[in-house]
Amino acid sequence: MGPPLLCLLILVSVYGQACNSKSFSIDYNENCFRKDGQCFRYISGSIHYFRIPSYYWRDRLLKMYMTGLNAVQVYIPWNFHEPVPGMYDFNGDRDLSHFLDLTNELGLLVIIRPGPYICAEWDMGGLPAWLLNNKDIALRTSDPDYLAAVDSWLSVLLPKLRPRLYSNGGNIISVQVENEYGSFMACDYSYLRHLLHLYRLYLGDEIVLFTTDGNTEKELQCGSLQDLHTTVDFGPGDNATKAFNLLRKYQPKGPLVNSEYYTGWLDYWGEKHSTTSKELVSRGLKNILEMGASVNMYMFEGGTNFGYWNGADFKKTYKPIPTSYDYDAPLSEAGDPTDKLNDIRNVISQFQPVPQGPVPPPTRKMDYGFVSMNKVGSLLDFLDVFSPEFPTETRYPLTFEEVKQYFGFVLYRTRLPRDVPIPTFLSSVPSGVHDRAYVSVGGVFNGVLERDHVLKILVAGKAGDWLDVLVENMGRINFGSCVNDLKGLVSNVTLGGDILTDWLLYPLNLEGPISEGWPHVGNNFIGFSETESNTGPSFYSGTFQITTQGDTFLSLPQWTKGQAWINGFNVGRYWPARGPQITLYVPGNILRLGENTVTLLELERASELSVVHFIDRPILG
């Protein structure tokens, strides 16, 4: 027992801990992190595994490592992993353990941000929409119903992380509690304390826990908590000295950290594509590193909101976020190194060695040319395929959540109660439609109601005609006080001032049949439609052959708005009529040699050209 004990004693006196154990802690005297006893600072980048196909995780992480980063920062979206209460999904593109294994193999440390709220411009900021089954729930507070769901989720998630903590032999160096909590109106310290208790319970006393907030007094006051290391976020346009001076009021000692240094910014449908110059980003980064601070770049690769996963902001009006989350980041949406990445690498190399050798090149991009599209039929022709159960009958409209359809589309159907010979207003109250409603009478498309923008349209018809209102959830609000963002017809709809009643609700499961090959294979395929009309919610399909597999971008010339699937994989929403995003990223791994299929649900007006175009570069604005 002699030599080991001696070793132990020496190490205890030098580093304050046992020999051969790995350690990561905060040194409040030297104002640095201490990794295995050495003063340490991280230069990190954010990557969202949930916005990148697992096939490409290694490629992206390797590029981050080769840029000279020593850490990556990773959010975990609760709603991505617990789609139904008590049912967990950690497979395929949700295989968090595989992603974390790859970070470790590549020699990257991990700063993990399990929320439970994450913002991230992700549906409901990562909170599961099923929480809204309880109408009175007070999200992000110490409401016992909310806490019970949080407790149950973290009791599943955090034990998976524990063996991966640095001091347990893994590569997770720190864990963020909540997310920019100071920006939330509740300012509920008992909620933060409850989370702190859970994190300590499952992760132990050693792990560095921290909070991140915007650099204002109010945010830092409500977002920081004693016993949690306080950090800030700010972009290249902000004064770093001023931001860190303010941080020092709340975190007088210990390492300075900018947890979200913005390399770019997000987009909104209908606004200009956002960009930030590489000169500004690299100058700001250099400034932060010269101050001796640790930094995480948000984003390093943004990725894609596949399917229905995008969030939305609320600034006077509802503002949904497009499918691309390119973010003008150093790695593009498709994972390609940009000039911004090269500049960042040069800056990093002035402060710490960067790995020898070139950053891996862009992945192969393909131009597969034009594909002609045929109309399969109106969505109303396929209710038996997408909603095989009996519809829900209800006097007044119910929300998506009340019929347990959390994403995509629900059809609200009723009959005109009387003859309407003269065009008459079908109206909703402000914010009564969440978020877009595609209206048809007697199977003929009438137009669109849009949350906060279009509140009424003229309709006409005969008593007994079907009035079909297809409602699209455009993504739940992910930031601010409106995160309880119920979907559907959340208020009554009136016709000439009279409330419409006696609705049939069809929750539409598009993903099931389409992921199994509909309309290209299966018993429900009834052939191509004879109808001439190119308006109203309808399906279109096409096929194309490939002999070389690679990434490509789907361009939709003269199509209006809808959802696109390639080989049954939902590549997201398209809306070239509104922009700024024109093309959709199609990762090469979802293509196959030989025949491939395209399926569109066009919601408004199909292209007269009836083609789509696969090109070899993105058009984002």
Ligand X SMILES: *[C@@H]1O[C@H](CO)[C@@H](O)[C@H](O)[C@H]1NC(C)=O
Q: Which residues bind ligand X (CB under 6 A)?
A: 239, 241-242, 396-397, 491-492, 499
Instruction: Find the shortest distance in angstroms from Cβ 129 to ligand X.
Output: 18
Q: How far is the CB of 381 from ligand X (least distance, A)?
A: 29
C-beta of residue 495 within 8 angstroms of C-beta of residue 417: yes
For the CB of residue 344, give the shortest distance to ligand X in the complex, in Å.
21
Q: Which of 550, 589, 571 is nearest to 54 (CA)?
A: 589
**C-alpha distances out from residue 536 to 111, 369, 587, Å:** 47, 27, 29
Closest distance to ligand X from the beta carbon of 429 (Å)? 8
List the catalytic residue out of 121, 178, 260, 333.
Answer: 260
Structure tokens at 574: 């398209």
**Rg of the chain on CA atoms, in Å:** 26
Query: Whose Cβ is closer to ligand X: residue 104's or residue 491's?
Result: 491
Parallel, antiparallel, or unpaired: how do β-strands 538-546 and 552-555 relate?
Answer: unpaired
> Phi, psi at residue 521, to the nearest 5°?
-130, 160
Residue 500 vs 620, nearer CB to ligand X: 500
Given the complex with ligand X, which of 57 and 412 has the nearer CB atom? 412
Catalytic residue among 180, 219, 472, 602: 180
The smaller minimum CB distance to ligand X, of residues 55 and 396, is found at: 396
Nearer to ligand X, 397 or 408 (CB): 397
- Helix/strand/coil for 406: coil
- Residues with Cβ within 8 Å of 330's Cβ and at least 6 positions away in sequence, in order, are 45, 67, 263, 297, 300, 301, 337, 338, 340, 341, 344
For ligand X, give the closer residue by CB, 315 or 395: 395
| Distance, CA of 463 to CA of 155 (rounded, Å) | 56
3-class state of residue 178 by DSSP: coil
- Asked about 260 being catalytic, the answer comes back as yes
**What is the nearest approach in angstroms of ligand X to the Cβ of residue 242?**
4
Between 248 and 592, name the residue whose CB sits nearer to ligand X: 248
Comparing C-alpha atoms, which of 125, 129, 610, 6 is closest to residue 406? 129
CA 552, CA 549: separation in Å to the nearest integer?
Answer: 9
CB of 224 to ligand X, least distance (A): 20
Is 180 catalytic? The answer is: yes
Phi/psi class of residue 220: alpha, beta or left (left: φ > 0; alpha: ψ in -120 to 50)? alpha
Residues 6+ apart with CB under 8 A from 200: 209
How does DSSP assign 523-585, residue by residue? TT----------BSSEEEEEEEEESS--BEEEE-TT--SEEEEETTEEEEEE-TTT-S--EEE
Shortest CB 432 distance to ligand X, Å: 8
Contact criterion met (CB below 8 Å) for 542 and 569: no
Closer to ligand X at the Cβ: 54 or 133? 133
Whether 89 and 81 have beta carbons less than 8 Å apart is answered as: yes
Structure letter (DSSP) for residue 360:
P
Amino acid at 606: A
Taking the CA of residue 463 as centre, how many other CA atoms within 13 Å lie in the half-sphere pointing to its CB? 3
Closest distance to ligand X from the beta carbon of 239 (Å): 4
The catalytic residue positions are: 180, 260
